[in-house]
Each structure stands twice: as C-alpha cells, then as structure tokens.
Structure 1
Amino acid sequence: MPSKSPAQAALEKADKKANSSSGWFSSSSSKYEEAGDLYQQAANLFKMEKLFREAGDAHAREAECREKCQESNEAAQAWWNAAKAYKRGHPDLAIQALSQTITHLTKAGRFRQAADREKEIGQIYLQELNDLRKACESYERAGEWYAQEDAQATANACFKDAADLHADLEEYPQAIARYEQVADGSLSSALTKYSVKEYWLRACLCALAMGDPITAKRNLSKYSSLDTTFSSTREAKFINIITDAIEAGDMETLTAAVYEYDQVMKLDNWKTNILLKIKKGIQEEPTII
C-alpha cells in the first residue's frame, strides 16, 4: 500500500478535526478554527505537489470552517485562495469560489475588493470559457462598484471592456452608450483626455455597423461640439470619409480609406472585425435601380 503524501495526511487530520464532536471544555467554534488551520496547511502542501484541484478543495473546506466561526474576512480570503488554485485548470470552480468571496466582501462593504474579484470573473469568462455575455455582465458590475468607490479610471477601463463586448455581441446601442459614458468620464482629466477620440471612433463604427450612417454623422458633430479639437483628428476624418463612402455605396473609397488608416494607426482586432461587418452590410444591401 503506497504511503500517504504529506498533503493527504494533513487533509485527513483536518477532516477528523472538523467531524469530531466538541469536548466538554471546548466550544465548537474552536474546533472549526483548528480544522480551518489544518485545511489551510493541507491546501499549501497540495500546492507544493502541484495538485491544484485538491488545493482548491482544501481551501474551500477551510472557508466553510471560517464561516462556521463567523470569521467573514478569513472566509473571504480562503475562498479567494481556493479560486487562485482552481484557476489552474478549473475555471468553473474558480468562478464559484470568487462569487463566494464577493458575497463576504459586499456584506462587509468592501466594494473596491469585490470589484477586483468581479473583474477576475469577467476575465475567466472571456479568456477561459469564451462566454462574452457573462464576461460583459461581470465587467459592468465591477465598473459600477469601482465608480461608487471613486476609482474612476479603473471603472472606465471595465466599462470600455464591456462596450467592446456589447459590440462583439452586436448590441450596438448598448456599446455606443458605454463608449459615450467612458468618453464623458475621460474628458474632464488632462491625463485621460487623449483617449476620448478612441472611444468616439468606436461609437461611430458601432453606428455604421448598425447600418445607420445618419446617426454616425449626427454623433460625430455632437462629439465635435464636446471637444473642438476632435474634428481635426485622424479618427474624425476617417469616420467622415467612410460614412460618405457608405452613403454613396462606394466600396473602393471605403477600402482605400481603411487601408490608409491602417498604414498609420494599425487596426486592432476589434476594429478589423467591425469594419468587416460594416463592409458586409453594404454588400448585402439591396441596390435600388
């Protein structure tokens, strides 16, 4: 019979402690406190053995012991440790553990930390599970919590990620609203003002992807009135050219404008994808003879 690993032995000791009956002179809370410490030790030993699923499970059991002792801060930390272990190959379990962490943090009014964990959930949905809808919801929730904690730059980054995802999901009005919100939040600061033209460019591309060049033009003039330097930017000129080309059904001018813009500004994946959708939309429009 193979000998038990140190981690396995520690886990059994923790289980034994958690399931023991409390003696005459010890309270059940001290029993769970000790069991929690033992589960934590077992989890750390499992990590040394690179057994991350088992480490996550041990931290989850530690968290349950902390909850039985009404130790909310320690429970939040234990759930977070569980999530970090589960992240190594078990994204669904990581999300569950992070959700437990968030429950404890929001109850304690620690919304800044809750936002950090919610953002982590968004990243797992996006990168590991490719669930754009859930990722978008998490980024929006995190953004709202950051905003109420006065972490405006971090909130804007989350709302911008949510806007990109709304556009990927072809929910263009929601995307436009989010880009405009982030732009409004960035206009007031000299540090963030430079990024506003990027948000407005994305908002206008969303309007064009909806097949609505009139809204794109109207928004362009609205943005130019909010910031007088905008109309002279490469972004604004690019939107003007392609909007005119779309209204005229002129594919050559559109393609040339996109090529020229890419030479100078290098289109990222998001812009490339949305421009392909815009192009496809024009090609599919019925021509009036």
Structure 2
Amino acid sequence: MPKSPAQTLLEKADKKANSSGGWFTSSTTKFEEAGDLYQQAANSFKLEKLFKEAGDAFAREAECREKCSENNEAANAWWNAAKAYKRGFPDLAIQALSQTITHLTQGGRFRQAADREKEIAQIYLQETHDLRKACESYVRAGEWYAQEDATATANACYKDAADLHAELEEYPQAIARYEQVADHSLTSALTKYSVKDYWLRAALCALAMTDSVTAKRNMMKYSSKDATFASTREAKFVNALTDAVEAGDVEMFTGAVVEFDQVTKLDNWKTNILLKIKRGIDEEPVLR
C-alpha cells in the first residue's frame, strides 16, 4: 500500500530531526528544517482528517522549535496541536494547551494565556465533565484577564466559576465570586443592569445552604449598595422564597417560582438550585 503524502513528510521530518548533521549544518538549522517538515506533515494529516496524527506532528514541530529557542513559534505549534486534538482527544488537547500557556506566560503574553486557559476550562466542562478543574481554569483565566485590564472578560470567567462552585455545592465560594462580579459591574453604566442577576444567584446559594439568616443579611447589604435593588422583581422573588423557606411552606415556594418564571424564564442553573432549595424545605423539620 503506497504511503500517504503526510506519512512521507513525517518520515522525512523524523529523518531530519535524528540526523547527525554535516560539518556545515548547525543543530539549530537541523531542527528548524525538521520543524518545517513536521508542520507540513501535520497540515497534510489534517487534509486527510487524521486529527490525532496531525496533533502528534504539530507537537513534534513544537519540540523542534523549543530546541531552537523559537518560543513564539513553539507556542503556536502547541496551539495548533491542541486544535487538532480537540477533535476527539480532549486530554491531549489540554496537555498541548498547557504547553502553549507556559510559553505565553514566560513571554509576558498573559492576555493570550488567559484565552488558552479559558479553552481548557471549556474542554473540562464540555468534554471531560470535570467541573472542579473547569472551575479552577476559569478562575486562573479571570485573574490573568484582570491583570491585563480586560475586566469584562475577567468577570465573565469569574461568573462561570461561580456557577460551577454552586453546582459543586460550594456555596460560600460561589457567593463570594458573584459578589465580586456584582461589585465590578456596579462601577459601569453598561454593566449595572446585570447586577440584580448576580445578587439573585448569590441569594439562591444562601438559601440552598438552608441559611435564611445569611440570605436576609446579604439582601440588606445589596440594597445598601444599590438603592434601586429592593424594588426589582429579583429582590421581591428572593424575599418571597425566604419567607417560604422560613415557614417550611412548599406550596408558597412553588407559587413564587411559577410567578417569577412566567415573566422571566428560569435558566437551567436557577431551576436546578431552586429544586435543591425545595428539597431542603421538604426535608427540614418544621418547629411547631
């Protein structure tokens, strides 16, 4: 069976990388040429839709670039490897992205490092369903965005991390993150409108801990930060839920949820946490 063009290029690249080099070729030149050949082989594998082989060839290219201290090219090659591995090899994609990030942070390119870290978070979330690792990556990406003054992007990452903390039932951490994002959002007229949603999420987390005292105290704190908050549908909704939780009244709770949902459709996250709170009422002994 004849070799594919990609296979032929790969063998040529291996041969070049492993050659002893002549009197007149420096090892740098040897690895530069091998790197170019690996890149050609990788692109050829991509044409054949052989994504694992393409990723492997890009990774070999990256190693050649590292041997010549071409760090930007190495970062790029690792990223290309990750994009190929994303087609069905999530663990390898994460490893390649981590290598990319090492090069980017060493070169002071934190904004790009944050972009790649966010990609890692999304792979953990969508492919390997590792919520804790996804959460850690969102926080790391958020910190790098924040130090590069990309505040809106940082807040989006922190909000995603908060949602995951809540799904992992790490409610105090979730509340702290929502409040952090809300505080940032208060500072700009463009983002101020979203604050009530962050505070609603934080309050639901407090109720999920069956801690109506904290929920009430936090609601007072939020109203002192923004005088308009107390009159919003979100605030009234939380107050109705808190009353129902304290009364141990499931019907009252369900009524408040249905009423809110008729005007503002509840997303999956809110639906899930409301079910947890409702279960808490069902299980909580009511003091007579």
TM above 0.5: yes
Contact 2:59 2:81 in 1 (8 A): yes
Q: Distance in 2 between matches of 1:265 and 1:214?
A: 26
Q: Distance in 2 between matches of 1:92 and 1:190?
A: 41
Structure 1 position 251, deviation (Å) = 1.2
Q: Distance in 2 between matches of 1:263 and 1:195?
A: 20
SS at match of 1:201: helix
Q: Distance in 2 between matches of 1:58 and 1:207?
A: 50
Structure 1 position 288, deviation (Å) = 2.9
Name the residue aligned to 1:154. 153
Q: What is the root-mean-square deviation of aligned Cα atoms in Å? A: 0.5
Structure 2 unmatched ranges of 5 or more: none
Q: Distance in 1 between matches of 2:250 and 2:35?
A: 66
Q: Distance in 2 between matches of 1:60 and 1:249?
A: 59
Q: Distance in 2 between matches of 1:5 and 1:202?
A: 55
Structure 1 position 287, deviation (Å) = 2.9
Contact 2:6 2:41 in 1 (8 A): yes
Q: Distance in 1 between matches of 2:286 and 2:261?
A: 29
In the alignment of these two chains, the number of paired residues is 288
Q: Does 1:132 align with 2:131?
A: yes
Name the residue aligned to 1:207. 206
Q: Distance in 2 between matches of 1:249 and 1:147?
A: 42
Name the residue aligned to 2:104. 105
Structure 1 unmatched ranges of 5 or more: none
Which amino acid letter does the alignment assign opposite residue 249 of structure 1? G
SS at match of 1:282: helix
Name the residue aligned to 2:183. 184
SS at match of 1:128: helix
* Cα-to-partner distance string for 1:120-161 (whole Å, 9 max, x where unaligned): 000000000000000000000000000000000000000000
Which amino acid letter does the alignment assign opposite residue 166 of structure 1? H
Which amino acid letter does the alignment assign opposite residue 139 of structure 2? E
SS at match of 2:128: coil
Q: Distance in 2 between matches of 1:235 and 1:34?
A: 62
* Cα-to-partner distance string for 1:91-116 (whole Å, 9 max, x where unaligned): 00000000000000000010000000
Name the residue aligned to 2:270. 271
Q: After TM superposition, list the pairs within 5 Å mapping 1:1-289 onto structure 2.
A: 2-289=1-288
- Runs of 4+ aligned residues of structure 1 deviating over 4 Å after TM superposition are none
Contact 2:249 2:281 in 1 (8 A): no
* Cα-to-partner distance string for 1:260-286 (whole Å, 9 max, x where unaligned): 111110100000000000000111112
SS at match of 2:30: helix
Q: Distance in 1 between matches of 2:250 and 2:92?
A: 48
- TM-score, length of structure 1 as denominator length: 0.99
Structure 1 position 170, deviation (Å) = 0.2
- TM-score, length of structure 2 as denominator length: 0.99
Which amino acid letter does the alignment assign opposite residue 247 of structure 2? A
Q: Distance in 2 between matches of 1:286 and 1:225?
A: 33
Percent identity between matched residues is 81
